[in-house]
A and B are shown apart, each in its own frame.
Chain A
Amino acid sequence: MTNIEYDVLIIGSGASGGMAAYALTQKGVRCLVLEAGPLIDFQRQRGLKSTYELPYRGFGKPGRLSHVFQANEFNANQWVDEQQVPYTHDPKEPYNWVRVRMVGGKSLFWARMSYRLSDYEFKARDHDGFGENWPIGYADLAPYYDRIEPIFKVTGRTEGLAQLPDGVFVEDSSPYTESLKRFGEAGKSRGMTMTRIRRALGDGQFASSYNLLLPAAQATGKLTIVSNAVVREITTDRKTGLANGVSFIDRQSGRELHARARVVVLGASCLESTRILLNSKIANSSGVLGRYLHDQFYISNGVIAVVPEAKDGKAPRGLMGGAGYIPRFRNLKTKEKNFIRGYATDIYTGGTPDAKYFPAWGEDLNRMLESHRGAAIGTTIMGEVLPRYENHVRLDPKVRDAWGIPALNFQCRYTDNEFNMAKDAVATISQVCEDAGFEVLNGNDKMFPPGYSIHELGTCRMGENPKTSVLNKWNQCHDVKNVFVVDGSSFVTGGTQNPTLTIMALAMRASEYLAEQMRKGDL
């Protein structure tokens, strides 16, 4: 047994926890990372199989992972088992909570989309009067984005857009294909600007804390990682009220342990961090812990169109292929009647529409699929969801996980602002497709349930006022000064941008502040 007191105990090893470990150890801070899942040996853990070798012929075990639309029979074992770690919601208001417990967390599997937030998000209230501003602005975070993008090798095209600030890119100057050019030109009259998708290239197979952050942190000699450590709660000193460590359970044996530290950093993912705080009964004098849950609504294939010249295998070279990104263009300088904020769109060309879009079967369907092979334009619509007090998580008094930790109960729904935005998105993109000379095959304005984007945000938001926020502008708990929360739960608003890059920038900024406070003896 050991009686070590670490400088900082970090819960979680994904993008946020990994970045905290990276930034703190670079400053000479001695850290312990507790990760709920195992370290994966990818060579042993995965193997090629045919669909017919799977027990359910690729359909997956019925009823398993019913909330994880991203799951299939090949990858089912990579997600958190919903029976082992359950959560609850009203059956009429589902929430898709998608989780990974492994060293590296969800950063092992993310789509790598890497976009900066702008002051349209940080100062959103100033633009439309809804909600709160962040206690920081773009200028506060920009230096951290500047340092993280080179680590993750983010590709992108420099554009000078106010709503999507440029980064330190591996510059993507590749030409658009003709179909993308046509879409981009047609969108201009509606205020759209098309740019390249900004994506982390990473190193080799991964762009993850697993290969880009944790190894560098461990090379300092200042980092200890313990896997399979399921955290139950943060423990506090009765006299001071400050955190003094963490109680956790060994995932495989069920053994209860306690680790001591001067400071605790939560980077367990947005809702797991909030769950731990709720179960620890700390950091909630404001009553907003668990509140203002938001994400981005997603509509995959919101509009499916076809490029007529590409049908029947007749696409000339350079017509099809590649992808573009339309950043938010609504409510920047103009004002929409039916909704505030806006949406972004991924557009990709060259695929084949799914069979469900064709009202046919048998040989007719086969002919249609062959005719449309490689001729499709697909879009994914990503809309900003307003952070509302009513949308929240709390501990379920009746349901516990396999280790006896209370489960989360979700109460979250989209509102007319999101529904109206989705309708506008599908109508506008459909019109742009038609203006570009494409045939619209299907338009769908029904979004997936909340949570599907795996961009859950809020529930532990930052702010200047301790009565309306959980964290200060340094991701530090107002109530418990030696507890920091560095993941997506700290967000005040989420915009339309994929949040991981911002989560890492916040984690780096908070960690360097923390290291400085420790150096000065203030923590």
Chain B
Amino acid sequence: MKRRSFIQTLAVTPALAVPVAANDAAPSVTQQESAALEIAVADAAAETHQKFFTALQFSALKRLSGIIMPPMNGLPGALDAGAPEFLDFLIGASPADRQQIYRTGLDQLNSQARRKFGRHYADITNDQAVELLAPLRKPWTYDPPGDPLERFLREAKADIRTATVNSREYVTAESSGGRRRGGVGQYWYPID
């Protein structure tokens, strides 16, 4: 501790041991030298522990993510941005009906891939993988599609894009490339 801050700390220590609230006893922010520490987000230092989807479902989600949002124009794609891992977390924390849409959709991708091409979705060729995305060619409607695969693909398309463009990798690449910086907003802290 520097001498100046040590003296400041002494100066605000109560002379008498009277019961005071913890916040009252602590030196105020303005009376301390605040350290200029740079704090990283967890994504900068670690990988998400994948635990919600089965290995087969997750492999299909990764394959789908790479197709929906590949690296483009020097910006990271979904796989670079850890979008599948993030969605594994997000969907795992979501209400049951949303979980069901994803699980059913990924299972259907795999079962259709096996039926048509004899392999799991992660293992078929790119042309074959794209062929199974035909439901995404239908026009958007407000009501969700009745077909489970179509419904899943529609949600996944939006989610994979969002998970990618809102990622640290994407936002950093966008801003470092001198491009328009997206993904910044006024955050409301919790109200006391």
- When C-beta atoms are compared, the residue in chain B nearest to A228 turns out to be B192
- What per-residue 1/0 map shows which CB atoms of A35-50 lie under 8 Å from chain B? 0011010001111111
Asked if B140 and A252 sit within 8 Å, CB to CB, the answer is: no
Residue A175, interface by CB 8 Å: no
- When C-beta atoms are compared, the residue in chain B nearest to A302 turns out to be B142
Asked if A363 and B70 sit within 8 Å, CB to CB, the answer is: yes
Binds A, one of B13-21, B109-117, B156-164: B156-164
Which A residues are in CB contact (< 8 Å) with B86?
Answer: 57
Which residues of A, 322-366, contact B by the 8 Å Cβ criterion?
355-357, 359-363, 366
Binds A, one of B4-12, B51-59, B88-96: B88-96
**Bound-state Cα–Cα, A72 to B95, Å:** 17
Contact of B140 among A40, A54, A62, A356 (CB under 8 A): A356
Asked if B90 and A63 sit within 8 Å, CB to CB, the answer is: no
Asked if B139 and A45 sit within 8 Å, CB to CB, the answer is: no
Asked whether A51 and B140 contact (CB < 8 A) given A62-B90, A78-B188, the answer is no
Contact of B94 among A37, A54, A62, A76 (CB under 8 A): A62
Count, chain A residues at interface, CB 8 A? 41
Contact of B95 among A38, A63, A77 (CB under 8 A): A63
**Bound-state Cα–Cα, A38 to B86, Å:** 35
Candidate in B93, B136, B142, B162 with the most chain A CB atoms within 10 angstroms? B142
**Bound-state Cα–Cα, A366 to B171, Å:** 17
Asked if A38 and B142 sit within 8 Å, CB to CB, the answer is: no
Asked if B167 and A77 sit within 8 Å, CB to CB, the answer is: no
**Bound-state Cα–Cα, A44 to B187, Å:** 11
Asked whether A442 and B140 contact (CB < 8 A) given A58-B166, A355-B158, the answer is yes
**Bound-state Cα–Cα, A74 to B192, Å:** 17
Interface size class of chain B, counting residues whose CB lies under 8 Å from the partner chain: 35 or more
Asked if B188 and A45 sit within 8 Å, CB to CB, the answer is: yes
Asked if A444 and B142 sit within 8 Å, CB to CB, the answer is: yes
Output the least CB separation between A521 and chain B (Å): 43
**Bound-state Cα–Cα, A37 to B161, Å:** 37
Asked if B41 and A52 sit within 8 Å, CB to CB, the answer is: yes
Output the least CB separation between A47 and chain B (Å): 6
**Bound-state Cα–Cα, A366 to B77, Å:** 12
- What per-residue 1/0 map shows which CB atoms of B148-192 lie under 8 Å from chain A? 000000100111011101111001000000000001111111111
- When C-beta atoms are compared, the residue in chain A nearest to B140 turns out to be A356
Which B residues are in CB contact (< 8 Å) with A47?
Answer: 186-187, 189
Contact of B138 among A72, A102, A359 (CB under 8 A): A359
Which A residues are in CB contact (< 8 Å) with B136?
Answer: 359-361
Which B residues are in CB contact (< 8 Å) with A102?
Answer: 191
Which A residues are in CB contact (< 8 Å) with B159?
Answer: 59
Asked whether A74 and B137 contact (CB < 8 A) given A52-B41, A361-B67, the answer is no
Asked whether A63 and B94 contact (CB < 8 A) given A48-B187, A446-B142, the answer is yes
**Bound-state Cα–Cα, A514 to B142, Å:** 47
Asked if B141 and A444 sit within 8 Å, CB to CB, the answer is: yes
Asked whether A359 and B137 contact (CB < 8 A) given A48-B187, A52-B171, the answer is yes
Contact of A45 among B70, B143, B154, B189 (CB under 8 A): B189
**Bound-state Cα–Cα, A102 to B170, Å:** 36
Residue A2, interface by CB 8 Å: no
Which B residues are in CB contact (< 8 Å) with A38?
Answer: 191-192
Asked if A51 and B189 sit within 8 Å, CB to CB, the answer is: no
Asked whether A362 and B184 contact (CB < 8 A) given A50-B171, A442-B139, the answer is no
Which residues of B, 75-129, contact A by the 8 Å Cβ criterion?
86, 90, 93-95, 98
**Bound-state Cα–Cα, A56 to B161, Å:** 14
Residue B133, interface by CB 8 Å: yes
Q: Which 3 A-B pairs have CB atoms at the shortest separation, nearest pair first?
A: A51-B166, A446-B142, A51-B183
Residues of chain A whose beta carbon lies under 8 Å from any beta carbon of chain B: 37-38, 40, 44-54, 56-59, 61-63, 72, 74-78, 102, 252, 355-357, 359-363, 366, 442, 444, 446
If A48-B184, A77-B188 are given as contacts, then 10 extra A-B residue pairs at C-beta distance below 8 Å, sorted by A number, are A45-B188, A48-B187, A52-B41, A59-B162, A62-B94, A63-B95, A77-B190, A355-B161, A359-B137, A362-B69
In the complex, 19 of the A-B residue pairs with CB atoms within 8 angstroms, ordered by the A residue number, are A46-B187, A46-B189, A48-B185, A49-B184, A49-B185, A50-B184, A51-B166, A53-B41, A56-B90, A57-B167, A63-B95, A74-B188, A75-B188, A77-B191, A356-B157, A356-B158, A360-B136, A363-B72, A446-B141
